[in-house]
Amino acid sequence: MTQVNALQYFVAPNASQRQPAQGGGLEQYEEGHDTSHNELLALQANITAALKKLAVDEGNRQAIAGGIPLLLRQLTQRGGEPAAQVLQVQAAAALGLLATDSCNRRTISDAGGIPSLVQLLSSSSEELQETASALVWALAFDKECREAISAAYGIPSLINLCAASGSSTVQEHAAGALWNLTYDEATRAAVAAAGGIIPLVALLQSHSLEVQQHAAGALTNLAVDSHMAVTIADQAGTALLVQLLGSSSVQIVGFAADIVQDCLLKEAAAAGDSAAAGFSQALAVDGGLAALVRLLSVEADAAQADMLAIRQSAAACLTGLATDPVHAKTVAELDGGVLALVRLTESSSWQEQAMSATILGLIAAVDDDCRRAISQAGGAAALVMLLSSSSHAAVADAAAAISNLASEANCRKALTEAGGIQKLLSLLSQAQLQQQPGGTTSCAPDAAVPAATMADRPSLSLMSGALSGADSLVSQPDSWLCPMSSVAPLVDNAAVAVDS
């Protein structure tokens, strides 16, 4: 018999529906033997385990995919006996490997497998919870599957696993599934309505970095809606957000920076409301200014879009915070704070050039001590150099900063020695020429600043993370698949293809 025919034989509802095996097979072997229910379950589990391991090789998956309906039927085995649970675990793991292909994911959904799978999320077996949640995570890469998972009330079950499971692996998989489910507006609303924010925020303090990353991914997607961003910040608290800004995970740092920026924008929009000023004050008290300044020194270029986005988000946050003279002076007094801003003026990004000049200008507006700190860090020469930028915004912000810096005698000397007078006169001449009919500008128009602070918000988790652990979830002495813990950090979300 072929592998699929063997499965068909053993999942037949009763003996009368089974077709005799050709060439002997099980019927000949068991002649005169009354096979028990548990023996059949065990045999099915062994066959499914073999198929699962064969599915590790991508070339075998198409042949095994014909057995998807049979594997789905194994998920519905009734009874809580260990043999039935082992079979369910093996079937879910095999389906997880097949789910590397989008067509197979949709086949699973079209065959009605998702409601049965969602039921397994409430199993009393931790091993079954691990495997079932991994499969849900994998299926949630498809929009059709995400809708089916939501319709089958899978979201409350996943949230419950995040909140109540004592297994970090279960939490990792459940949070990964919620990360993908929050890609769509409708399912984002469903996760929030089901109370998902509180347990996801709690997972940010997990001892597992992978759990933290997946929770951060889901929360980042939820924060696309500004009112949810504020709710997330309220639940997390500024102390935790500051802690996350120092994480070793790019994913987690990006999440925290996004939330801080969103909340500062919300606070700025409510200017004049004394109650709205609480976030920035609390952030400063909890060390947020120092954490953001450290992010300005992150090495990044155009090829490292995630790191560049984090640095720009940190600069944007400091731009807003520095409008308060108290915060501006605190930045000036931080070890390396002004130097980091001066170095940022040399960035190839016009947004970073403009923001660094703005922050330096706000610091220079505070007092002479702040102005001298900028000059001593090489800020006078850096701002004069920035007057040659091709960006209108960077040039204008640099000129404003120079105006504030020139209020102190030593700074005036430094600006003069850096050629500031000649450059300002040259720019003034160009500006007057541009006012004349037919005048042209030497600065290129600035591109629009992206609305999202991280690439591709909302995002999906990495496919490799969701699927490489499907087999390793089943304890076996000869397991040689890549364990979930060795999956690379979830950084390159922009590379995930979205199945619409």
Asked if residues 356 and 387 have their Cβ atoms less than 8 Å apart, the reply is no
Q: What is the CATH number of the domain that holds 372?
A: 1.25.10.10
Residue 408 included in any domain: yes
Question: Distance between CA atoms of 216 and 401, rounded to whole angstroms?
Answer: 37
Q: Calculate mean pLDDT across residues 444-463.
A: 52
**pLDDT one-digit tens code per residue, 75-99:** 887 666 778 888 888 889 999 899 9
Please enumerate in sequence order all residues whose Cβ is within 8 A of that of 371, keeping only pairs 6 or more positions apart, or say none.
364, 404, 405, 407, 408, 411
Q: Calculate mean pLDDT across residues 259-277.
A: 77
Residue 367 included in any domain: yes
User: Number of folded domains in the chain?
Assistant: 1
Q: Which helix (H) or strand (E) holds 160?
A: helix 154-164
In 48-113, beta strands by DSSP E: none
Residue 424 included in any domain: yes
Question: Distance between CA atoms of 310 and 300, rounded to whole angstroms?
Answer: 9
pLDDT score at 439 = 58
Question: Distance between CA atoms of 318 and 153, rounded to whole angstroms?
Answer: 42
- Mean per-residue pLDDT of the chain: 81
**pLDDT one-digit tens code per residue, 273-320:** 555 568 999 999 999 999 999 999 888 765 678 889 999 999 999 999
Residue 92 included in any domain: no
| SS3 readout for 161-229 | HHHHCCCHHHHHHHHHHHHHHCCCHHHHHHHHHCCCHHHHHHHCCCCCHHHHHHHHHHHHHHCCCHHHH
Question: Distance between CA atoms of 96 and 91, rounded to whole angstroms?
Answer: 9
Residue 310 included in any domain: no
Question: Distance between CA atoms of 268 and 241, rounded to whole angstroms?
Answer: 19
pLDDT(17) > 60:
no
Q: How confident is the model at residue 490 (pLDDT cuts 50, 70, 90)?
A: very low
Q: What are phi and psi of 444, to 5 degrees?
A: -75, 145
Q: Which residue has the tokens 């500008």?
A: 441
**pLDDT one-digit tens code per residue, 112-148:** 999 999 999 999 899 999 999 999 999 999 999 999 9
pLDDT score at 371 = 96
Could you tell me which of 118, 175, 177 has the C-alpha nearest to residue 142? Answer: 177
Cis before residue 13, ω within 30 degrees of 0? no
Asked if residues 299 and 307 have their Cβ atoms less than 8 Å apart, the reply is yes
Domain holding 371, by residue range, is 336-341+352-434
Question: Distance between CA atoms of 87 and 481, rounded to whole angstroms?
Answer: 20
Q: How confident is the model at residue 498 (pLDDT cuts 50, 70, 90)?
A: very low
Residue 381 included in any domain: yes
- Backbone torsion region of residue 201, taken as left when φ is above 0, otherwise alpha when ψ lies between -120 and 50, otherwise beta: alpha
Residue 427 included in any domain: yes
What b/e string do you get for 179-203 counting C-beta neighbours within 10 Å, with b at 16 or more?
A: bbbbbbeebbebbbebebbebbbeb
Residue 450 included in any domain: no
